Structure 1
Amino acid sequence: MSESTQTGGALPWGPAAAGGIGSMPGTDAREAARTVTGAFEAPQHLPHLPELPARGPGADMLGRTAGLLAEMYVHLEPSGWRISDRPGRDTRRARAWLGEDLDALEEFTQGYGEGEAPRGLKVSAVGPWTLAAGLERRNGEAMLGDSGAVRDLAGSLAEGLAAHLADVRRRVPGAVPVLQLDEPSLTAVLRGSVRTASGYRTHPAVDRAVVEGVLRELLAVHDGPTVVHSCAPGVPLGLLHRAGADAVSLDLSLLTERDDEMIGAAVEGGLRLFAGVVPSTAPDSGALSDPAGSVGGVRSLWRRLGLSPGLLAESVVVTPTCGLAGASPAYARQALAHCVRAARALADNPQ
């Protein structure tokens, strides 16, 4: 985490900001990059490097991040991704997909940030605990079951992320990279509900101090802003803020009033919220039509917490509830545009 973010300085997105999560529908990297950069072309918004899991193994969430690992390799088994002794076809394919995505992003961010303040550009990777829960050791069990394997995995991920971020800076020199760690399995890791390979048992809960320490080391790899994302319920906001995250990205509909005290303390401590309020697939009721209504839950949360309405547009980035891989391309474009309109509505009427 950079000095500016630690001390409450400016982040590379502005008030009334909107952004995406990561995944997009389809298999065309250029079209995905065009859609994301076009939707978030205004300087206060936060475009991201798209992920296209529909292309197949290696473009999925776990395979893509496994391809970033330094001196650690994977291959695909019927049961999932497994650690290998050497790089093979599956590792090479994951790296090739990522290279294609970066090429497309570079094409559509020419001149990014020129003549204005540096702009944010979000890149995502699976966080260490979801990766440990999802990658298999050679015996078929999750790496989560071996504390030494988890440490080695986190170290490899840290080194790979550092190289990835350096590549993004080189390709898009006007950008301030924002690192997002995707941790949908984090709550399950903390609760001890990640199942073993047999499915009959679960891995023991990992001590919260250990979870926090590993996340802190990963987030410290990046000297700029950091976000941790989870679409699961029970996101541990306090733990993530203590670990160094500048923002937490979550599905706002999963919060309950029981979470209020934790959320209020984190926000008052400077944590930003990436509020997932726009459905990630087309709602049954049809097209999105009410930007102000989409952020009604954010306003209600703010009122319950007793926070200043004037801080709302600065503290909240409006996003879809989760990735858009399951949406149609037309709906994905509509959802991102709706995030922009909803963010503007939130700023215009924070009460």
Structure 2
Amino acid sequence: MTSGRSDAGPSAPAPSATTTGVWIPEALDLGPGQASRQAASAGFGLLSDGLPPVPLIARPSGDRWGADAIGRAVGLLRDLHVDRVSYGWRLTSTAGRDERLEASGLGEALDAVAEYGEGFAGPVQISLPGPWTLVTALSLSSGVRVLGDPGARRDVIQSYAFGIADLAERLRRLGLSSVVRFAEMRLDPVLTGTWPTVSGFASLPAIGEAQVYAALTSTLRHLPPVILSLPDLAPLNVRGKTIPAAEVVRSTGAAAVSVPLASLRAAGWEQLATLSEAGVGTWLRLPAEAGSRPEEVRRWLEGIAEPWHRVGMGAASLSRFGVLTGEELSLSHPPLLDPAASPARADQPAMRLAAGLRRALEEA
């Protein structure tokens, strides 16, 4: 596998500003690649001092389809093939129409990044579902969940790691380094045995934490620096024992962690401080609706600084926070947009807010 980093261990991505990369076009009748070109132009223009994202295009049509993040992920699987059925994505023996469409969409995104990122000196950011989130979203050709088949989930995780390394290499050939953001939103049900079968009438057995962590560590070892995005920093309760969130993050080997600002309570801020002091990069994700008010930098700065100081952290350490804005990846099937999502809320204003808040954190 082509490795995005050395074996010396993970290096946390420098604190910066970025968005999830989800782009909602203002018009539906754009020509091939035009939405990706709009997204890349804005990303490299507004986040030239940050982490411009590789765009993931949503479709704001009458059925409110979002950006299919699982589709982006399965399009990266090396030597495994997929198609889409009524209940989601499944593994198949040969490439089908849906797989080819995903490859085409990624190609358009990379073409746009190559055009607008020419001469860009910093890394770009790729937002993808985490390996275990991807496993929960896939089925075998029989309809059985991949999560319940040890051999299949191992094959998927390995194929995914190879595919992401291939993507990082494609970006490197364009003259761009990369940072990967894994939206790993389903560790809790995987570890606690609460992820449902396809029918929804039963749950799949829990996967042991040692196996879950080992798979993540093995994946991350061969990739560029990874930001592990979690839904919160609540402790996990597994087989009668409580595992603090900081221990979970450190066990995966992630170089950095991202968490929604709105999810943090006092205990979450303490866990974030523990991770920061341990050298793990810390990123805060603002609510998607924050992008509609890019001028409210002071409000968000105060919302971060006050609880951070309450857990005993100094003002200087605020400069270590990265900032993430934008619509979160659509991980369900079908991948529907939030009803309130709109181009005005999700795109350029969110980028401006991320850049402005990041500068404010440095100055604080």
Shared fold (TM-score, shorter chain, > 0.5): yes
Q: 1:71 to 1:58 in 2, by over 3 A?
A: farther
With normalisation by structure 1, the TM-score equals 0.86
Q: Match of 1:207? A: 208
Match of 2:31 in 1: none
Instruction: Check conservation: 2:233, 2:271, Cα contact below 8 A.
Output: no
Name the residue aligned to 1:225. 225
Q: Distance in 2 between matches of 1:88 and 1:58?
A: 21
Aligned residue-pair number:
331
2:295 maps to which of 276, 280, 289: 289
Matched, 1:334 2:349: yes
- 8 Å contact 2:225–2:255 — kept in the other structure? yes
Q: Does the 8 Å contact 1:295/1:346 carry over to 2?
A: yes
Cα gap change, 1:225 to 1:53, in 2 (>3 Å): same
Partners of 1:80 and 1:257 lie apart in 2 by 37
Q: Return the offset for 1:204.
A: 2.4
**For residues 254 and 144 of structure 1, do their structure 2 counterparts lie closer, same or farther at Cα, with a shift above 3 Å needed?**
same
Aligned-CA RMSD value: 2.6
Deviates most, 96-105 or 23-32:
23-32
Match of 1:32 among 30, 34, 39: 39
Provide the residue aligned with 1:272 in structure 2. 281
Q: Tell me which moved more, 103-112 or 133-142.
A: 133-142
What aligned pairs does 1:56-75 form with structure 2 within 5 A after superposition? Answer: 60-75=68-83
Which runs of no fewer than 5 residues in structure 2 stay unpaired?
29-34, 236-244, 330-336
Once residues 20 and 262 of structure 2 are traced to their aligned partners in structure 1, the CA distance between those partners, rounded to angstroms, is: 16
SS in 1 for 2:56: coil
Query: Normalization by structure 2: what TM-score?
Result: 0.83
Residue 84 (structure 1) aligned to one of 88, 92, 113: 92
Match of 2:311 among 287, 305, 326: 305
Distance 1:7 1:33 in 2: 28
Q: Map of 1:35-184 to 2, 5 A cutoff?
A: 35-42=42-49, 45-54=50-59, 60-113=68-121, 119-171=122-174, 173=175, 175-184=176-185
Report the alpha carbon displacement of residue 158 of structure 1 after superposing the two structures with TM.
Answer: 1.4
Amino acid at match of 2:77: L
1:102 deviates by 0.4
Q: Is the 8 A contact 1:58 1:91 kept in 2?
A: no
Please say if residues 19 and 326 of structure 2, whose CA atoms lie closer than 8 Å, have aligned partners that are also in contact: no
Counterpart residue type for residue 130 of structure 1: T
Identify the structure with bigger relative contact order (alpha carbons < 8 Å, sequence gap 6+): 2
Does residue 343 (structure 1) correspond to residue 343 (structure 2)? The answer is no
Amino acid at match of 2:221: A
Gaps of 5+ in 1: 114-118
Distance 1:208 1:261 in 2: 23
Counterpart of 2:305, as a letter, is R
